[in-house]
Amino acid sequence: MIPFSVMLPTLLAFQQDLTKLKVADGGGSFFFPPEASTFAKPYDGMYDFIQWVSIVFGVLIFAVLFGFVAKYNRKKHPVAIQGNTHNLALELLWSVPPGFLLFYMFWIGFKGFLDLREPPRDAYTIAVSGQKWAWSFSYPNGAKSGELHVPVNRPVMLTMTSQDVIHSLYIPAFRCKQDVVPGRTTRQWFVPTRIGTYVIECAEYCGTSHSDMLTKCVVHEQADFDAWVKEAANWLGDWIKAGKPLAEAGRRLYTEELACKTCHTIDGTKFTGPTFKDAWGRHETLTDGRSVTVDEAYFRKSIKEPTADVVSGFTPVMAPQPLDEDQVKAMIEFLKSISEHK
């Protein structure tokens, strides 16, 4: 059991993380987030049905229980009443009709489960990669992002895998959740029905920053989505062609696309990984006692084999980062631009 003194601050921190995301998750009810996919209505209906059956039967059973306690207590009946061992009609009454209710619950649950398992053939497919502690999304045209972007009213399928441990991609407003497992591909699908921004959570405990493994799902109008995904695929190439400063491209990669920011700050704060501020040219001692200077060779090795040369005081948790050459160059310029000794 997790002690309450640990659990409460964790829960509060999680609440803050949600506020930080500034997600417009409005429009939900007291119990539920907004209904933003085609799954939401039937599932909430199912939940309400089970909830109300439980409440009605719970109240009934407790009423009978207390009624019997009042009526047949030992003070009034010092000698046990003998004779009636059972009543067939009563027993059928409390077994058969509730049996139908239970079967109906199974049936709607089973149908809902089959729905969830079977994506339509024309679904728009987005590849998802989970790692400690960030999500990244890859679109069919080569675009990549750290937030999920999808078109409204169109089936979207996520094919998901993990770089390290088990995560679970959960979009409460869509009522869908599926484990993301290393070494295999899992999938889930949904049809977003409401334009807006919704929170994505990791729903499988995956280590220290599990509760920070948050991002957003942005639901666009189809035309806006097309424009977004086109820009997202080409921006870095266009940027370089236009001769714009690479360091700024690196900053955009850091804030919008890559997973760096979940562990490496740029304001000097120590987090899961060493801060990027003043990182370039810094002399670091490694966990095995060797020392290195943070330069291009070290950076390139660190994204390929993150657990090889870990700075002392940190644990090796990072998964290899598949950056292309343009991204590597842009990140290097960005790191230099926020470092004193370049």
Binding site for ligand CUA (CB under 6 A): 130, 133, 167, 202, 204-206, 210, 213
Comparison of 133 and 280: residue with beta carbon closer to ligand CUA: 133
Burial of residue 130 (CB within 10 Å: 0-12, 13-18, 19+) is buried
Comparison of 130 and 192: residue with beta carbon closer to ligand CUA: 130
Comparison of 147 and 309: residue with beta carbon closer to ligand CUA: 147
- Minimum distance, C-beta of residue 121 to ligand CUA, in the bound complex (Å): 30
43 closest CA partner among 116, 151, 99, 103: 116
Q: Are strands 156-162 and 124-131 parallel, antiparallel or unpaired?
A: parallel
Question: Angle, to 10 degrees, between the axis of helix 296-304 and the axis of helix 325-337?
Answer: 130
Does residue 196 come out as left (phi exceeding 0), alpha (psi in the -120 to 50 range) or beta? left
Comparison of 26 and 183: residue with beta carbon closer to ligand CUA: 183
- Minimum distance, C-beta of residue 130 to ligand CUA, in the bound complex (Å): 6
- Minimum distance, C-beta of residue 135 to ligand CUA, in the bound complex (Å): 8
- Minimum distance, C-beta of residue 9 to ligand CUA, in the bound complex (Å): 18
Cα gap 110→120, rounded to integer Å: 18
- Minimum distance, C-beta of residue 10 to ligand CUA, in the bound complex (Å): 12
Comparison of 40 and 258: residue with beta carbon closer to ligand CUA: 258
160 closest CA partner among 115, 220, 101, 119: 119
- Minimum distance, C-beta of residue 206 to ligand CUA, in the bound complex (Å): 3
- Minimum distance, C-beta of residue 81 to ligand CUA, in the bound complex (Å): 57
Cα gap 184→239, rounded to integer Å: 35
Burial of residue 326 (CB within 10 Å: 0-12, 13-18, 19+) is middle
Cα gap 42→2, rounded to integer Å: 34
Comparison of 14 and 239: residue with beta carbon closer to ligand CUA: 14
- Minimum distance, C-beta of residue 253 to ligand CUA, in the bound complex (Å): 22
Comparison of 210 and 264: residue with beta carbon closer to ligand CUA: 210
Comparison of 206 and 259: residue with beta carbon closer to ligand CUA: 206
Comparison of 135 and 139: residue with beta carbon closer to ligand CUA: 135
Separation of CA 84 from chain center: 57
Cα gap 209→134, rounded to integer Å: 10
Q: Judge whether 217 and 200 are in contact, CB under 8 Å.
A: yes
- Minimum distance, C-beta of residue 318 to ligand CUA, in the bound complex (Å): 14
The alpha-carbon radius of gyration of the chain (Å, integer) is 27
DSSP code, position 131: E
Cα gap 33→246, rounded to integer Å: 40
